[in-house]
Structures are given as C-alpha cells and as structure tokens.
Structure 1
Amino acid sequence: MTVDGTGRVETTGGTRRLVIEREFRASPEVVLACLTESPRLGRWIGIWSGTGGPGRTVQFVMTAEGATEPQPVTIAECRAPHRLVVDFEQDQDAWHLELDLAAVGDGGTTRLVFVQRLDFPGLESSVGPGWEYYLERLGAALAATPEPDWPTWDDYWPHQQAHYGGADPTGH
C-alpha cells in the first residue's frame, strides 16, 4: 500500500517551509501531551530526557527506527496547549519545527499544523515523507490503534518523494 502526500511547500517572507496539517480526535491538551510528555512521545517517535521548558535544551532519542544517539533539542517556545516550537541539532543542520494546535468544533478534535523550515534545497523530498509517516504514527497512538495496524515506512517512502519535488525511484 502507498499513501499519497498531503503536505505542501510554501514560501513565507523569503523562507521555504514544509507544512503538513492533520486532524486528530482528541483535545489540544491530549495532543500536546503526546508531543511533549516523554512516555507518550515514545509511543510514536522517541523519548527525551532532561529538564524541559521554554529556553531549555533536552536530549532526544529517536526510538521509532531503533535507538539513535541522543540529539540536543532546544524548546524555543511552548504555549500550552496551542503552540510548541523546537530546534533540533541534526548532524550539521538545525531543524526548526513549529506545531500549532487548535480545537475544532466542540473541542473533541484538534487541528495540528506542522511546519518545518527548509534551510536547504531538496530537503523537502526526504523530510516530507518522513513527517507524513510520523504524524500518521502520532494519529495511531492517539487513537490507541494496536501497533501491528500502524502504517509502515514503505507506505510513505519512496512513493511520496515525487509529491515533494524529488525523484521517486519506484516510478510511481
């Protein structure tokens, strides 16, 4: 099975950005908890250690693809339950991520707008499919879907590369 890309690349104020939007059947408070509380975050992407809070740096370990080396992540902004901004030190690159949450309707659904600044040309063709995959994993975690029924990496990569402007080696 392949999953089509839903995100887009836009330019705002001269800065290129990857934007992916999702809706989840949970309140903004619950969605934010799955983005910020290490045990909940660990269910779909990774865990962190340290003392969290705006202006602080924690150590993040991605566990969804097997444990990686800890990476420093600075919490640039956290306005619960509506906004989280973090900066990952990714090898020699820095990844600036913004997550905005808003209640939809009666508040039982949350709209997440995920934004990653694209500092390098072509970055979107690799990070776009990756974030689509991880946001689907977030949705599965929020819905308490049993893990064997979660999407797989192969559902997103390399199929979505073409959607994000890169070559799809499978010809799709």
Structure 2
Amino acid sequence: MIPQPTGRLVRKDDGVYVVLDRIFKAPIEDVWSYFSRSPRLAEWLGEFTGTPSTGAARFRMKVEGDDAEWQNVSILECQAPHRLAADIGPSDSAWRMYLHLTEASGRTTVTFGRRLHDLSEEADTGVAWDYYLDRLIAARAHRPMPDWNDYHPAMLEHYENLCRELGDDLRREHAAAHAGLARDVSDTSA
C-alpha cells in the first residue's frame, strides 16, 4: 500500500509547525519509551547520549546514515510520558520539535510537531516526518522499515501546497494589517 501524507500546518505563537498524528494500540508508557530510551529510539530514528533529565543531551539521526553528526539538544519541557519539547542543533539554526502523547481506551495518540524556519523551502520536512513516524510504527510492530522512495517525491506536492496556501494567507494578513495601520496613522494625522 502506498503511504498517504498525514501532516498539516499549525500556526503557533512561535511560528508555523508541521504536525502529524499516529495512533498506537499500546499503553502510553510503551510508546513513550520509543522517544525516551536511546536503544528504542535507535530502532526507528536515531540515538542520544547524555542525561536528558538535566535538560541537555546530544542526538544524531542514524536514519540518515552512520556518519550522521551529533547535534546538541536543549530540552525545553519534559513531562513523561505526556509531553516533550526540545531544540535540536546549533542555536541559530536549531529545529524545534514537540511531542504530545495521550492515552484513551487502550490507545495512545502521538502528536508530533516540528517548527518550520521557511515555508518556501521546507515542504520536504513534512514528507520526512511522515516517513520517520511510519518507521516508528514498523519498529513497534517488528515489520520491515518503509522505503523512502514511496514517500519522496510522491508526498512533496501535498506539503508544497500546504506551505504555499499558508504563505499566501500570511501575506494577505500582513497586507491587511499594514493597510489598517496606514489607515489608522492617516486618521490620527487628519
């Protein structure tokens, strides 16, 4: 079966995030362990070192190959097993991510978000996270990993359209706000 894109764009106070959900028939603690324990994280994405409880660790995305570089991680929030927020990478180009996990009726929902730096250049981020989260599903089910070629470029148009539409909305809002500000200034100077 060919995977379908599942992400959406969400505006938050600190920027625009690509947000994706996955549902697991499993207890929340089990699903959380795939994000919080390095051996389990390594099964589908990468590995970390350090002591996350101190608010700092290092992470590398093994899914990108054995020569992937280690990145500094600043943990902004951790409320196990429900919430995690972190900045990954150098401070000037770090990518911010968050996880929200909820459990109900024997199922755990994972909501993952990653902040985009530039709508015009980061549509592939959504494709990548659809792929990575499907790798998590495969790891938990002890199934073969999905093939990147089933995701990219097939899903790229979906995310490019989301980015273009939101970019257009933001430009219109900015123009309307600018027009309103200009009108307010002319009203006060009359």
Which residue of structure 2 aligns with residue 169 of structure 1?
none
Q: How does 1:108-123 map to 2 (within 5 A)?
A: 108-123=106-121
Which residue of structure 1 aligns with residue 17 of structure 2?
17
Which residue of structure 1 aligns with residue 63 of structure 2?
64
Give the alignment partner of residue 156 of structure 1, picking from 117, 134, 151: 151
Which residue of structure 2 aligns with residue 138 of structure 1?
136
For 1:127 and 1:133, how far apart are their aligned partners in 2?
Answer: 10
User: Structure 1 unaligned runs (5+)?
Assistant: 167-172
How far off is 1:92 after superposition? 4.9
- Say if 1:26 and 1:142, in contact at 8 Å, map to a contact too: no
For 1:126 and 1:162, how far apart are their aligned partners in 2?
Answer: 9
For 2:103 and 2:133, how far apart are their aligned partners in 1?
Answer: 17
The 3 A distance-change label for structure 1 pair 72 and 163 is same
**Mapped pair 1:44 → 2:39:** no
**Mapped pair 1:26 → 2:23:** no
Name the Cα RMSD after superposition: 1.9
For 2:46 and 2:16, how far apart are their aligned partners in 1?
Answer: 26
For 1:158 and 1:53, how far apart are their aligned partners in 2?
Answer: 38
The 3 A distance-change label for structure 1 pair 123 and 32 is farther
Counterpart amino acid of residue 53 in structure 1: S
For 1:155 and 1:88, how far apart are their aligned partners in 2?
Answer: 27
More strand by share: 1
Higher-Rg member (1/2)? 2
CA deviations on 1:31-74 (whole Å, 9 max, x unpaired) are 111001000000001111111125x2211121122120111111
TM-score normalised by L of structure 2: 0.77
For 1:50 and 1:4, how far apart are their aligned partners in 2?
Answer: 36
SS state at 1:159 partner: coil
How far off is 1:123 after superposition? 4.4
User: Structure 2 unaligned runs (5+)?
Assistant: 162-190
Which residue of structure 1 aligns with residue 5 of structure 2?
5
Counterpart amino acid of residue 63 in structure 1: K
Counterpart amino acid of residue 147 in structure 2: T
TM-score normalised by L of structure 1: 0.85
